[in-house]
Amino acid sequence: MHDDRLITEKRLERFVRERIAPAIYGRALPLELSSWDAPGEPVPVSEALRQVFEPQEHGAAWGKAWSTKWLRLRGEVPEGWGAADGTAVEIVVDLGFNNDVPGFQCEGIAWRPDGTIIKAISPRNQYVPLKLLGGGLSVDFYVEAAANPDLSQGWSFAATPLGDKSTSGDEPRYRLGRIAIAELNEVVWDLHQDIWTLSGLMHELPFELPRRHEILRAFERMLDVMDPDDVAGTAAAGREALAEVLSRPAYASAHELLATGHAHIDSAWLWPVRETIRKCARTFSNVVALMDENPDFVFSCSSAQQLAWMKEFYPELFIRIREKVKAGQFVPVGGMWVESDTNMPGGEAMARQFVEGKSFFLQEFGVDCQEAWLPDSFGYSGALPQIVKSAGSRWFLTQKISWNQVNKMPHHTFNWEGIDGTRLFTHFPPVDTYNSELHGRELAHAQRNYREHGRGTISLVPFGYGDGGGGPTREMVAAAHRTADLEGSPKVRMGTAEEFFKRAEAEYHNLPVWVGEMYLELHRGTYTSQANTKQGNRRSEHLLREAELWCSTAAVRTSGSFTYPAADLKRLWRLVLLQQFHDILPGSAIAWVHQDAERNYAAIARELEGIIADAASALLGEGDTIFLLNAAPHERSGVPALAAAEAVHEDSPVNVTERAGGYVLDNGVIRAVLDANGLLTSLSDYATGREAIAPGMFGNHLELHRDTPNEWDAWDIDEFYRRNVVSVVEARSVTLESAGWDAVVVVERTVGSSTITQRISLEAGAESLGISTTVDWQEHEKLLKIGFPLDVRADRSASETQFGHVFRATHTNTSWEAAKFEFCAHRWIHVAEPGYGVAIANASSYGHDVTRTIRDDGRTTTNVRVSLLRAPKFPDPRADLGLHVLDLSIRPGASIGGAVEEGYRTNLKPRLVAGANPVEPLFTVFNQALVIEAVKLAEDGSGDVIVRLYESLGERSTGLITANFESRMVHSVDLLERPVEAPGVTPGAGAAELTLRPFQLVTLRFSR
């Protein structure tokens, strides 16, 4: 036989494009349009419907960036339309869409005149069925059209002013397309779906399989029997020509795909939070309408925050969602407040993501989510398995690791073992997308890519337009139905994530194990971009710690005269948790988003400072004695952990001597030498007598790198940045600002167009040297690092993560190790050889790198660097420009325990308050390895006290925690404060004996 395959395929492609697609809608009639432009930010529907609508021209340009136009659509359906079998009447609304990037351009919501939502209008979902308008043949409804600009720009990553409303311009960005009453030919529509499914399958089948050629010949028969001049009249014959190849059952061994509807809506990204709220309403209204037509359709919805927005701003839609939850079609998943970043949130914040998310789902829907659902976060902390299990969940899903630049994850279904030994059943959908359309290409990829063949038979595929929202469409549901049992295709069945996990668990035993963090080999710049956002997060986390601690202490110590501000603390926690969304905290959103975040953080700080002041006043009373409120889990200046008392000052001041234009600072605990350029040429501690700085080198070394990643500017740091560096050595001035009990040396430098002022300080009795770097940052596409070359032979570094730390190799024996050239640490990083280590703590930085070299003397220099600032141009062209204050400390001779302590000291600045009475700590822990992370009152309002602690050293630790107040009994509880059995915890009356495994997390409830 002659090979005419390509000829037939081109014939099919053109016939579909020019004949079938235009025939889906037959007769059409333009609607009468009028409009009203919202003058500023979006308004509620009740306000919009009261406005005067002026006549609106069809095809007119409209919509400056971020504006809203309200359209009123009116008309009468001609007699007889939709009366024939297989036809229906719909209103088609094209706001000026392009078909390339759904969710990244203009969008709309259709509203009835009574102010109830009908459904969304989006680029690939442009129809409103007449039956949803309330009956009759009259058309009268409104469309709230949002002129969101397309910041994707074809993913060119070019700088754009569109991400800031003040710079986005006034020119219209869209032009109205067809807005009409139209008659839908359902037979032609079904034929179009048949072709889409079979064509997608055909192009994925190997040439040598007969099935591929049988589908092609069926298409040929269809093309022959159909009349191009009468597509509607011959569509049924066309479907009949395809019926046989469409009805053949799948292979018995075909892979199974459980398809769950999904819309990964970024809670802020290339749009502000205010637009996300509308995106959620659009998507969820679409989903609910689709459920009415398809009882087997199931939608998985993560992020309690997004549903909380629906409850607050779209209560009528929220009621409909609640009904679909009861019906089992709309399924809350994930159990988190938002799909947060997991690298940078602190331990307590990560726990609260689940506390707030799961509590909301339980309260509003009676649903206890069993799966953590994070398809798009930028790597996964090794602490996450324990946190998920501690929240009462049992499964984990993600997809993002498929984006790795170098190394391919070896499993799709496996046990993930966290830093404490907790194992979590985990699945990576082999479809490698969380935005599937259920196209034949995607389904075939999932089947080919699945790495567990022979042991497992099923994987999960989330389908629906995401990122910018939209969700599943009726075309996707049609594809699911057609591929349920189709030869050559995996078997597709719609269902819930829970169904998938239970089936996968039941069929696959002796799972492979992945140990430790799941590092994403991409998006390493997110540990540094948008420094103000990161600083706000860190500050907020520690202010919340203080507020809950002192409010709990006041509630217990004042015999009820102080009211614990539970509602305010919950509201503030939720606002902080929102900012931890995986495009806000990582710094990968538009300027508008980060401006909002900085305003939120400022408001959070003001309110928490007020709450802390009120609690302190209630605790200390009125007086002139200055007390140190020590919220740290370690003693500080003679004040016990979690207590308030007068600080004990050191007996001797810091000794300062001048040397060769520089200074020597010595407090009898450590000794630091700064040269004439303010570089740290020596740092030693008297306890060990060791020199921390490698010979002939210097710390406090600022280095400026070229930072031009290949793509994903705010997200990525590519390894080649290291090849272009300017060493910032020369100082404009080095002066001694003060000497005495504390010593401060001020160093001023210039780098590029930026000025840098450093305050290098040593306090009396301190075990660490402080370095506060103030930068007026005026660079673009540059990366500023500060480095410390240490005379330590360390084959690995330890970096704080949630409730513990993670080790990473300092060498690059394997491609997995080489890929970790930039990584995340929380408050501290530690490098050591047996018997000696150095800790570097920070107050708001997360990005780090550690390298090693062998010197001529055979000894090793381990260079630890902290990333201070970046300056990417996309999506915010002015990212990080302006003034920053970045605090670090370096502690020589430090153990891991010293690093933990230094991390808290650097982040919890001394809080000095005047009063009359000292305050005894609520709890005493008789082992500093056991660190109290949170003290709060119980969520149920009982007044019981909750304490959360963890083993911090990575070793088996024993100890006793005692309540310094009357407590009837201690109970082990999970993160949601439900009773659980906790290994190693022996509770008693007012105390608990603890024998904890490395990094074990424990939550205890002390009944009052």
Contact 215, 245 (CB under 8 A): yes
Q: Which letter, b or e, does each residue of 253-281 get, where b requires 16 or more Cβ atoms within 10 Å of its Cβ?
A: ebbbbbbbbbbbbbbbbbbbbebbbbbbb
Q: Cα dist. 141→31, 103, 130 in Å?
A: 11, 23, 11
The two structure tokens encoding residue 273: 């939070």
The two structure tokens encoding residue 738: 């003060």
The question of whether 114 is a catalytic residue gets the answer no
Catalytic residue among 266, 376, 675, 791: 376
Instruction: Name beta bridge partners: 864.
Output: 788, 850
User: Exposed, middle or buried by CB within 10 Å (0-12, 13-18, 19+), for 406?
Assistant: exposed
- DSSP string across 572-641: HHHHHHHHTBTTTTTS-S-HHHHHHHHHHHHHHHHHHHHHHHHHHHHHH-S-SEEEEEE-SSS-BTTBPT
Contact 169, 64 (CB under 8 A): yes
Task: Classify residue 410 as left (phi > 0), alpha (psi -120 to 50) or beta.
Answer: alpha
Q: What are phi and psi of 633, to 5 degrees?
A: -85, 10
Instruction: Name beta bridge partners: 624.
Output: none
Instruction: Name beta bridge partners: 1007.
Output: 969
The two structure tokens encoding residue 483: 């591929």
Is-cis flag, bond preceding 998, omega within 30? no
For residue 688, give the nearest of 702, 669, 674 by alpha carbon: 669
Contact 268, 276 (CB under 8 A): yes
Instruction: Name beta bridge partners: 258.
Output: 460, 493
The two structure tokens encoding residue 962: 């005692």
- DSSP string across 535-568: HHHHHHHHHHHHHHHHHHHHHHHTTTSSPP-HHH
How many Å apart are CA 96 and CA 104, to the nearest integer? Answer: 13
* Orientation of helix 304-313 relative to helix 347-365, angle to 10°: 50
Residue 958 in 3-state DSSP? strand
* Orientation of helix 186-202 relative to helix 440-449, angle to 10°: 40
Indicate the length of the chain as a whole number: 1008
Is-cis flag, bond preceding 875, omega within 30? yes
Helices (H), ranges, 634-778? none
**Helices then strands, each counted (H, E), the chain:** 19, 52
The two structure tokens encoding residue 752: 């590029």
Question: What is the layout of strands, in order, in the sheet containing 625-630?
Answer: 643-645, 625-630, 911-915
How many Å apart are CA 285 and CA 305, to the nearest integer? Answer: 17
Contact 874, 713 (CB under 8 A): yes
How many Å apart are CA 557 and CA 555, to the nearest integer? Answer: 6
Helices (H), ranges, 207-272? 210-225, 231-247
Residue 889 in 3-state DSSP? strand
How many Å apart are CA 52 and CA 605, to the nearest integer? Answer: 43
How many Å apart are CA 329 and CA 300, to the nearest integer? Answer: 8
How many Å apart are CA 764 and CA 261, to the nearest integer? Answer: 61
Contact 81, 42 (CB under 8 A): no
Known catalytic residues are 376
